[in-house]
Amino acid sequence: MTTETKQFGYYPGCELRTRAKALDCSAQKVCRDLGITLAELKEWTCCGGLVPQVKDNYMGFLAPARIFLEARAQGLDSLVTLCAFCFNTLRRASFFLARHPQVRARLATFLDVEGLPEIKVLHLLEVLRDHIGFDRLRQAVRKPLDGLRVGPYYGCLLLRPAQEIMLDNAEEPTLMESFLKALGCEVVDFSRKTDCCGSYHIVTNGEIAGRCAEQILDSAGESNVDLLVASCPVCQFNLDWKQSQANHTNIPVVYVTQLLALALGEPVDTLGFSHRAASMLPAA
Amino acid sequence: MSQLLSFRRENDLVTEIADLSEQNFYACYQCGKCSAACPAAFAMDIPPHQLIRLLQLGQGEKAMQSDAPWSCVGCLTCTTYCPKGVDPARIMETVRTLHLRRLEGPFRYTQLDGERLAALPQSALVAAMRKVTW
């Protein structure tokens, strides 16, 4: 549908090559269908998993700095991400480094390079909104997901802190809603859509992670959604983990790009949906 | 007569927490929105606004003894809701970091259950290692 091809750097991150292959694979299909060229970084490393929030801790900016250097070495000035952890970490690092020349200089000295480049860190949803536009996206949809009741689950990392992330309003976001409407879905609002899933407490404190996930699922369940849609492998894991325990809701959590690929006409069996999720989708 | 004296007592620890977190504790007027919004407050011995109150009162050691920073996951809901622009999550992380720098805290990474860890998302593992373990 597009006449021009747009090129962006692509930073998949660890989850997309292991647990969240469906996110990677569906995103690549979507970009191919929409004329977005993703140039994957040749040598990418871990994003560092969240930036430090203490003034004198620069360690957490090293991994992003290396990634930005790698992007520059390949002549890229932007990086598209999908995983909310990678997005948040790289976007905040980019924001912080742009405003702290002394830290930038210190990291450059440590890494033995002349200086650190400014790389624009984007989320694919943002690329769809700002470079394709949801009206054009709607026109590209070949198989509208009519009647599918979808709850947009943002979680924390796509939105907060709003003054650094600047993707959408942190309390009343509309990005996923507009995106899902373009696919023909029925967007179902639920009160806990920007709540935290418990994040890394899944490692150290199952009680907190469980409670967080439970409240989100209960809220989505009360709104009677068919599916929850997310862009974070950890959110998906935590919500699925809670639901694997007895007597709980059974709401499939799928990725934004899986639904988009489906709406663009990609065959459902190539998109990595779970059985349960596939059973909720409109018949082909 | 001591009640008539100012109870604001600066000391090295409180100053260090203010400096590293880059937060002005005295901007907080104790509305409690952070604590109302916090998804982990139920698991804390004292909620976020009370931790800030301790720091306002110069009670750095008491703030350090609280288990609240270990329950905070840095979701920044408090930060979003604070009407005074205070970032409680940075204060939580600073307290946690001071413990970790003394090689103390409830999560020793060598003592986590390796078999269970293998089943968890690696981004959560990396984040947990960075934020709460030593």
Q: A188 with A94, same domain?
A: no
Could A212 and B127 be called an inter-chain contact, meaning their C-beta atoms sit closer than 8 Å? no
A20-63 pLDDT tens trace: 999 999 999 999 999 999 999 999 999 999 999 999 999 999 99
CB atoms within 10 A of CB A98: 12
A-B Cβ pairs (cutoff 8 Å, strict): 127
What is the total count of domains within chain A?
A: 2
pLDDT of A101 reads 97
- Domain assignment present for residue B123? The answer is no
Give B-chain residues touching A83 at CB under 8 angstroms: 123
Give the model's pLDDT for residue A6.
Answer: 80
Q: Is residue A137 part of a domain?
A: no
Percent of chain A clearing pLDDT 90 (strictly above):
95
Chain A touched by B71 (CB under 8 Å): yes
- B77 Cβ contact list (under 8 Å, min separation 6): A156, A160, A194, A195, A196, B37, B38, B39
Residues A214, A248: Cα–Cα separation, whole Å: 8
Burial of B60: CB neighbours in 10 Å, binned 0-12, 13-18, 19+: buried
Select the residue from B91, B123, B133 to test the A interface by mutation, using most A Cβ atoms within 10 A.
B123
B80 contacts A171? CB cut-off 8 A: yes
Residue A283 domain-assigned (yes or no): no
Count of alpha carbons within 13 angstroms of residue A220, beta-carbon side:
32
Q: What is the dihedral of CA A68, A69, A72, A73, to 10 degrees?
A: -140
The structure tokens listed for B128 are: 């947990």
Interface test with B, best of A157, A167, A200 (most B CBs within 10 A): A200
Q: Which residue's structure tokens are 């639904």?
A: A259
Domain that holds residue B54: 2-106
Question: Residue B131 class from Cβ within 10 Å (0-12 exposed, 13-18 middle, 19+ buried)?
Answer: buried
- Asked if A18 and B125 count as a contact pair (C-beta separation under 8 A), the reply is no
> Is B27 within a domain?
yes
How far apart are the C-alpha atoms of A174 and A168, rounded to whole Å? 7
Give residue A246's pLDDT: 76
| pLDDT the model gives residue B8 | 57
Q: Which of chain A's residues have a Cβ under 8 Å away from the Cβ of B72?
A: none
Residue of A195, A203, A212 lying closest to B120 (CB–CB): A203
Residue A37 lies in a domain: yes
Contact B123 A14 (CB under 8 A): yes
Establish if B27 touches chain A: CB-CB under 8 angstroms: no
Domain of B77, CATH number, reads: 1.10.1060.10
Nearest-CA neighbor of A146 among A263, A257, A264, A1? A263
A261, A161: one domain: yes
Residue A219, domain member (yes or no): yes
Using CA coordinates, name the residue in chain B closest to A201: B73
**Using a CB-CB distance cutoff of 8 angstroms, which residues of chain A are in contact with residue B131?**
50, 200
Query: Which run of H or of E encompasses A228?
Result: strand A227-230
Placement of tokens 């967007």 in the chain = A187
The CATH number of the domain holding residue A245 is 3.40.50.11810
> Between chains, do B126 and A211 touch, taking CB under 8 Å as contact?
no
Query: Residue B110 corresponds to which tokens in the numbers above?
Result: 């060598």
Residue B3 is predicted with a pLDDT of: 45
Domain shared by A54 and A160, yes or no = no
Residue B134 belongs to some domain of the structure: no
* Domain's final residue, options A123, A157, A172: A123
Instruction: Identify whether residues A259 and A146 lie together within a single domain.
Output: yes
Q: Which H or E element spans position B54?
A: helix B48-56
Residue A236 and residue A259: Cα distance in Å, rounded?
Answer: 15
- Mark whether A197 and A243 lie in a shared domain: yes
Asked if the structure places residue B81 within a domain, the reply is: yes
Q: In this model, does residue A180 exceed pLDDT 50?
A: yes
Q: Which domain holds residue A48?
A: 6-123
| ipTM for the predicted complex | 0.94
Looking at the complex, report in whole angstroms how far the Cα of residue B59 sits from the nearest Cα belonging to chain A: 20
- Residue ranges of chain B whose pLDDT lies below 70: 1-10
Residues of A whose CB is below 8 A from B79? 160-161
A284 pLDDT higher than 80: no
- pLDDT higher than threshold 60 for residue A147: yes
pLDDT at A5: 65
Provide the pLDDT for residue B93.
98
Supply φ then ψ for residue A81, to 5 degrees.
Answer: -125, 165
Number of compact structural domains in chain B: 1
Give the helix, strand, coil percentages of chain A, each rounded to 5.
Answer: 50, 10, 40
User: To which residue do tokens 């994040």 refer?
Assistant: A199
Rounded to a whole number of angstroms, the distance from the CA of B80 to the nearest CA of chain A is 7
Shortest distance, CA B114 to any CA of chain A (angstroms):
11
Does residue B116 sit within a domain? no
Chain B residue at shortest CA distance from A19: B121
Decide if B124 and A52 are in contact by the 8 Å CB cutoff: no
Same domain, A101 and A147: no
* HSE of A173, CA atoms in CB hemisphere, 13 A: 31
Q: Is residue A211 part of a domain?
A: yes
Does any domain span residue A130? Answer: no
| pLDDT beyond 60 at A3 | no
Q: What is the pLDDT of residue B114?
A: 87
pLDDT in tens, A148-163: 999 999 999 999 999 9
- Name the domain boundary from A71, A88, A123: A123
What order of strands is seen across the sheet that includes strand A78-81? Answer: A36-40, A6-10, A78-81, A120-123
Which among A19, A196, A200 has CB closest to B77?
A196
What's residue A167's pLDDT?
Answer: 97
Closest-CA distance, A137 to chain B, in angstroms, reads 31
Residues A151 and A270 in one domain: yes
The residues in A 112-171 lying below 8 A from B, measured between CB atoms, are 156, 160-162, 170-171
Total-model pTM: 0.95
